[in-house]
């Protein structure tokens, strides 16, 4: 049977030739690339049916040499005025060495996922839990130091160039500017961990009464205590309703001392609304009467009002007001959180 010439084939090759191409790829990235921080995503409370998690955490940031394929500027670099905020659609195309990923970085990612799931560090990852170390994963993040930007991996191509000498040598990642939506950053790198405070993502805001002491510090941890009774909070977390929560923690994002307004992010539990027993409206925030204590500054303030921090084009209050007008309140309902129908 006829076949192609094995001495000149472009689809098969000797291991020495493949190693030569791989070495040239690594050399080119080392000469013309940059060191970027790669952050694998950890999924918390992953829904295996929808394959989505209620919250994501980034605890590891690995410096990896990459070549910026879009070297002459961001791809699709335009600014869009959306309903919520001015949105940047900057994109990057990045290239990393496949052999370097497999040799140096995949073992750390594999161990991270196994520790998260309570398995042996050397065990195989579970793809059903959104875990893989064989290649970069869509949803992971890359820190771009030139403008302190964070980009999300949207798609990973593993067949470019198309199997030279029968093998692939690079991962080509198509990335888009990351939009913060409540993720938790614990990498230990300030430029990355402060993304929550710098973002326009809705922050929870406390308005304090007069008479508080101290001033809060940026990014410090605060603890929130219930002051209305001896009972603990009854709040909601990512998994649903929690009957009793002794204390809630958050990070300081903004602090306006003259107006006594504190904006926080990354609450450990969410402050649910409860019915007003006089009007029946679900408009009383469970954090409206609480004590907020700064863990670094020692500041102590009592809240007079709380809720989502308002932002441009936000119509949440209008929607809530319309809902209050049309709902029918049932005061006999034993579930105080959902006492209407």
Same domain, 170 and 261: no
Same domain, 179 and 221: no
Same domain, 99 and 245: no
- Domain boundary, last residue among 185, 216, 250: 185
- Domain boundary, last residue among 185, 210, 242: 185
Predicted confidence (pLDDT) per residue in 204-243, tens digit = 889 999 889 999 998 889 999 988 765 677 776 655 666 6
Same domain, 247 and 123: no
Same domain, 166 and 22: yes
Straight-line distance from the first to the last Cα atom of the chain, in angstroms, rounded to the nearest whole number: 77
Per-residue model confidence (pLDDT) at position 339: 47
Q: What are the residues whose beta carbons fall under 8 Å from the beta carbon of 67, sequence distance 6 or more?
A: 28, 29, 32, 33, 94, 95, 96
Per-residue model confidence (pLDDT) at position 65: 94
Question: Would you say residue 292 lies in a domain?
Answer: yes
Same domain, 214 and 144: no
Predicted confidence (pLDDT) per residue in 260-303, tens digit = 999 888 788 777 776 666 666 666 778 888 999 999 999 999 99
Question: Would you say residue 280 lies in a domain?
Answer: yes
Question: Would you say residue 3 lies in a domain?
Answer: no
Q: Contact at 8 Å (CB) between 174 and 150?
A: no
Question: Would you say residue 116 lies in a domain?
Answer: yes
Question: Would you say residue 150 lies in a domain?
Answer: yes
Same domain, 234 and 174: no
Please name which of 237, 203, 181, 244 lies closest in space to residue 45, comparing C-alpha atoms. Answer: 237
Question: Would you say residue 49 lies in a domain?
Answer: yes
Question: Would you say residue 56 lies in a domain?
Answer: yes
Same domain, 31 and 117: yes
Per-residue model confidence (pLDDT) at position 201: 67
Same domain, 161 and 215: no
Per-residue model confidence (pLDDT) at position 188: 86
Burial 221-251 (b: 16+ CB within 10 A, else e): ebbbebeeeeeebbbbbeeeeeeebeebebb
Question: Would you say residue 197 lies in a domain?
Answer: no
Please name which of 126, 164, 167, 138 lies closest in space to residue 56, comparing C-alpha atoms. Answer: 138
- Domain boundary, last residue among 155, 185, 215: 185
How far is it, in rounded angstroms, from Cα 272 to Cα 270? Answer: 6
Q: Which residues of the chain have pLDDT under 70?
A: 1-2, 4-13, 51, 71-88, 196-197, 200-202, 229-231, 236-243, 274-283, 310-318, 320-321, 323-341
Q: Contact at 8 Å (CB) between 61 and 41?
A: no
Per-residue model confidence (pLDDT) at position 284: 73
Distances (CA, A) of 244 to 193, 230, 236, 319, 332: 29, 12, 10, 29, 22
Per-residue model confidence (pLDDT) at position 340: 44
How many domains in the chain? Answer: 2
Same domain, 151 and 232: no
Same domain, 155 and 297: no
Structural domain including 302 reads 202-338
Same domain, 206 and 325: yes
């Amino acid at each position: 049977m006829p076949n192609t010439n094995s001495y000149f084939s472009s689809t098969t090759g000797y291991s020495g030739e493949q190693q030569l191409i791989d070495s040239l790829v690594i050399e080119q990235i080392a000469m013309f690339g940059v060191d970027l921080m790669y952050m694998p995503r950890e999924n918390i409370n992953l829904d295996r049916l929808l394959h989505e998690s209620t919250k994501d955490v980034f605890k590891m940031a690995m410096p990896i040499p990459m070549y910026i394929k879009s070297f002459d500027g961001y791809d699709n670099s335009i600014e869009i005025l959306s309903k919520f905020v001015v949105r940047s659609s900057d994109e990057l195309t990045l290239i990393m060495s496949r052999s370097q990923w497999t040799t140096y970085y995949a073992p750390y990612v594999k161990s991270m996922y196994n520790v998260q799931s309570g398995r042996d560090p050397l065990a195989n990852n579970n793809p059903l839990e959104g875990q893989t170390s064989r290649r970069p994963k869509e949803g992971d993040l890359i820190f771009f130091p030139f403008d302190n930007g964070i980009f999300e991996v949207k798609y990973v191509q593993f067949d470019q160039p198309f199997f030279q000498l029968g093998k692939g040598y690079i991962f080509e990642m198509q990335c888009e500017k990351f939009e913060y939506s409540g993720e938790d950053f614990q990498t230990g790198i300030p430029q990355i961990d402060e993304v929550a405070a710098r973002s326009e993502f809705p922050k929870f805001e406390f308005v304090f009464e007069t008479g508080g002491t101290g001033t809060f510090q940026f990014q410090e941890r605060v603890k929130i205590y219930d002051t209305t009774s001896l009972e603990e909070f009854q709040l909601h977390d990512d998994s649903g309703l929690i009957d009793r929560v002794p204390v809630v923690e958050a990070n300081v994002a903004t602090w306006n001392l003259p107006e006594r307004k504190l904006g926080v992010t990354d609450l450990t539990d969410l402050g649910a609304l409860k019915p007003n027993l006089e009007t029946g409206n679900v408009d009383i925030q469970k954090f409206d009467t609480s004590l907020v204590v700064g863990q670094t500054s020692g500041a102590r303030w009592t809240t007079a009002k709380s809720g989502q921090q308002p932002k441009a084009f936000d119509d949440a209050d209008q929607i809530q007001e319309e809902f209050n007008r049309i709902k029918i309140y049932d005061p006999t309902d034993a579930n105080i959180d959902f006492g209407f129908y």
